[in-house]
Structure 1
Amino acid sequence: MRLNAVEAISLDLDDTLWSFAQAVAGAEDALRSWLIEHAPGTAGVLATREALGRLRVQFETVRPDLAGDYRRLRLGSIQMALEQAGEDVSLVETAYGIFFSARQKVEFFEDVLPSLEWLSTRFPLVAVTNGNADLQQTGGAHFFKGTLHAATVGVAKPDAAIFHAAAQMVDVVPRSMLHVGDDYAADVLGAIGAGMQAAWLVRDPSTTQAVTPRIQREPHLVIPTLTRLCEMLGRN
């Protein structure tokens, strides 16, 4: 597909600007340490580093209605850990605060900050995420006109409404906006379905192998880094 004139850009956050798995692993480590210190009985329940992640998955199987509500899923899994350990469940909210604060400690991919600097001087930028990252805490908020979280908008990618909200935020029509993200279904199909242009960020080519058989619409661009996006937009 051919890239048309771009007047604004929206960007995904997790796995586009930083590693989501790395951020969550660090947050779970911080939460696990805090729980073991303040609710010692959890030491047995959380004997391994992976225990909190397994509880999070287990709780979602019990409450599939909460899929996508990351806060409530994490709260529920923390409560499960406390209950199984026979500890005080009133610690749930405080424990979640420890997790959420640590989850904002991200490590931007090497290409991100220089690219955002370049892009933000040429295009209005909007962050669009299904997650709960807070750019005010992670850093980088000054590059963006605003952030749209699925939890506050009321719909998640790939729903067209969240993409349309991004276009409205910077007062452009959807066809003039380019959305950049790593997730083919949520970002590429979602953006194209909303009438936007889509750039698929593929940092690891091996990750496309499982997606290739399911490709329904070709993205306008496939890029390995945001640096490459800047180079391509600089020529257009």
Structure 2
Amino acid sequence: MEDERIPYSRAPMLDLTKIRAISLDLDDTLWPIWPTIARAEQVLLDWLKLRAPATAGLFGSPEALREIRNRMHTLRPDLHADLSALRRESIRLALQQANEDGTLAEEAFEVFFAERQRVDLFDDVLPALDLLAARYPLVALTNGNADIARVGLGAYFTASITAREFGVAKPDARIFEAAARAADVAPEQVLHVGDDALLDVLGALGAGMQAVWVNRTDQLWQQEMQPHAEVASLAELGAMFAHEAP
């Protein structure tokens, strides 16, 4: 099959001289998200087997728990920017459907949430963060509910902007603008780095930022607007800045 990759000779060029801050996506940019979620869902299920056995029987697999969480996304569109609330309310719904105590949802969610913070970083992440944080303020920018302090990366970041706390999610330009304000720079002085073509790259471009697409799985770019650069790892990103004075 012929490679239909859009030639990057037509893409904008990354201008390092304009960068005064870097915003970074978290899930699937700094660590793989689905192994983390699967492990957290299994820990939640094990807890339910002890504390809410009827619920564990009715929703007897991590996949079933994920399905009811997806159903809650449809039932409560007002919570689309708050993944913690969506997960908590999906647990509550599962408990209620099994005729068990819905107030257990708070404790059950904390069990899930604690495990969700146990992430396995990609090997290239810490060296890249060491290099980048020495040169620019870094802002975490995520639609997810990872806590950079609990994950163990808080020391690298000047600020963390989450969709849950801010109230709108990527690709809305307002959350990117909030990241720029957190770094005390203009949006056009920010480089955003992320793995999602729509949420990260197009969102950042729409806010007037430069954007780097982290393409760890060799996907084809299929959007008309293009990133300023594409990297297969954060090691490649770090190499772009290796000769820049800190």
Q: TM-score, normalised by structure 2?
A: 0.89
Q: CA deviation at 1:235?
A: 4.7
What corresponds to 1:224 in structure 2?
232
What is the rounded CA distance, in whole Å, between the counterparts of 1:94 and 1:191 in structure 2? 36
Q: Give the whole-Å Cα distance in 1 for the aligned partners of 2:75 and 2:179.
A: 33
Measured against aligned partners, the alpha-carbon deviations of 1:53-72 in whole angstroms (never above 9, x if no partner) come to: 11111222223332232122
Matched, 1:36 2:49: yes
Deviations 1:126-172 (A, max 9, x none): 11111111011001110110101112122211111111121122222
167, 180, 200: which is aligned to 2:193?
180
Q: 1:231 to 1:153 in 2, by over 3 A?
A: same
What is the aligned partner in structure 2 of residue 234 from structure 1? 242
Q: Which residue of 2 aligns with 1:151?
A: 164
* Matching residue of 2:60: 47
Match in the other structure for 1:193: 206
Q: Identity of aligned pairs, percent?
A: 48
Residues 205-235 of structure 1, C-alpha deviations (whole Å, 9 max, x = no match): 1xx34xx34x021100100001000111225
Secondary structure, counterpart of 1:9 in structure 2: strand
Query: Quick one: distance in 2 between partners of 1:9 and 1:17?
Result: 14
Counterparts of 1:81 and 1:134, CA distance in 2 = 25
Structure 2 residue matching 1:41: 3-state secondary structure: helix
Give the Cα separation in 1 of the matches to 2:123 and 2:203.
27
Which AA in structure 2 matches 1:154?
Answer: G
Which residues in structure 2 correspond to 1:52-201 (within 5 Å)?
52-201=65-214
State the partner residue of 1:3. Answer: 14
Gaps of 5+ in 1: none
| 1:33/1:97 CA distance change after superposition, 3 Å | same
Using the alignment, how far apart are the partners of 2:204 and 2:42 within structure 1?
34
Q: Number of aligned pairs? A: 231
Q: Give the letter for the 1:221 counterpart.
A: A
Unaligned runs of 5+ in 2: 1-11
SS at match of 2:103: helix
Partner letter of residue 135 of structure 1? I
CA 1:123/1:80 → structure 2, altered by over 3 Å: closer, same or farther? same
Amino acid at match of 2:234: L
Aligned-residue offset at 1:191:
0.7
